[in-house]
Amino acid sequence: MTGSALAAAVVTALALAVVLYVYLGYPVALAIARRFRRRVVQRAPYRGSVSVLVAAYNEQAAIASKLENLLAMTTDGVAVDIVVASDGSSDQTNAIVDSFGDRGVRLLALGRGGKTRALNEAAAVATGDILVMTDATTEFAPSTLASLLEPFADPAVGCVAADLHYVGADSGVARGTGAYWRYERWLRAREAEVCSVIGCSGALYAVRRHLHRPIHPEIDDDFTMPGEVFAQGFVTVFGDGAVSKESANDEEAADFRMRVRVVVRSLNALVKRRAVLNPARFGCFALAMWSHKVLRYLAPVLLLVALSAHCATVALAADPWRWLYGAALVPHVGLYVAALTGWLAQRTGVRIPFVHIPYYFVLVNAAALVGIFRFVRGDRAVTWDTAR
């Protein structure tokens, strides 16, 4: 085997090893660590004050049902303050929120500045000891808020991440979203048991008001808040029983745009808050950030490197190595063939079992690659458009 072919083979193996660690090795490491170090969270009914903060932009189709949903929550012993921060809405969102004023809902009408800035402004006028952040399209069961607040009985808990379920659509991208999110939920639950959740879903999470810090408008509050909480000596836990629901994107383009935006803002957060990547200061939290976020965002680059190096190995190797590496290339290329099949199924509406998983895996990594390019180019994705 030539030196060039050997070098290409080593590059292939190293790149694939990192990708396999990100998606398989890290979950295994969490499962093992959980056997030796498992946090037990104290839970009890919360009795205190809560401010529910909703950031909304042109949500006239959803905001009324959202507010009715919030007002119907079971809140025995809890004083609830609801604040809707309208981020420069140009439709009837503000008027609809105003119509709930006699039921205790407050409107904070802002100029266009993005979701994070809207939540910062809402937090500044909130009166509750616990701040609950939620999206305009997230649905709660009547008991969701009570379940979300229970872990605050534990003095070590500073933030609680709710369990999000995607519902509704049945396209390939929607089923892929569901599978991807079930994997994410498992990771977050294990991270909470071993150390601390490193990121919440913006659909629903809660934080102690005295731990809340204004977040830079260019980065996501839900991704950044657990790090802010951990830096102050508290942990973020997974709110078992606090289930919220959102409709999954049925369209590939809408989901892709959302994924790209998340990557751009997350990369910006990692740069601006890079201190959380230092294991000497943040310990297990930093290790989780590297494994769950940094290396995952690098995965599409590594996948391209691995595929290119693998093809180079086959081309440069002499027999019988060429046949060996050629055979190993079959499952490598098979991943992308399966993803292409999933893409065709999405476009044609044909349901083919299992192909939605490789399809969505490639879609997520393609979005990460585009997000990296946009971030390097200077895009910061401060504002968002309502897909509905």
Residues 322-334: tens digit of each pLDDT:
888 889 899 999 9
DSSP-based three-state secondary structure for 147:
helix
Q: Give backbone dihedrals phi and psi of 2, rounded to 5 degrees, phi first.
A: -70, 160
- Cα–Cα distances (Å) from 148 to 51, 72, 201, 361, in that order, read 13, 15, 13, 30
Give residue-wise pLDDT tens across range 10-26.
999 999 999 999 999 99
* Residue 113 CB burial class (10 angstroms; 0-12, 13-18, ≥19): middle
Helix (H) or strand (E) segment spanning residue 356: helix 356-377
- Given this model, what pLDDT does residue 385 score? 66
Give residue-wise pLDDT tens across range 211-226.
999 999 999 999 999 9
| pLDDT-based confidence at residue 1 (cuts at 50, 70, 90) | low
- Given this model, what pLDDT does residue 320 score? 81
Average pLDDT for residues 361-365, to the nearest whole number? 97
- Given this model, what pLDDT does residue 384 score? 62
- Given this model, what pLDDT does residue 167 score? 79
Extract the tokens encoding 95: 């008027």
Q: Over 90: is that where the pLDDT of 139 sits?
A: no
Q: Over 70: is that where the pLDDT of 150 sits?
A: yes
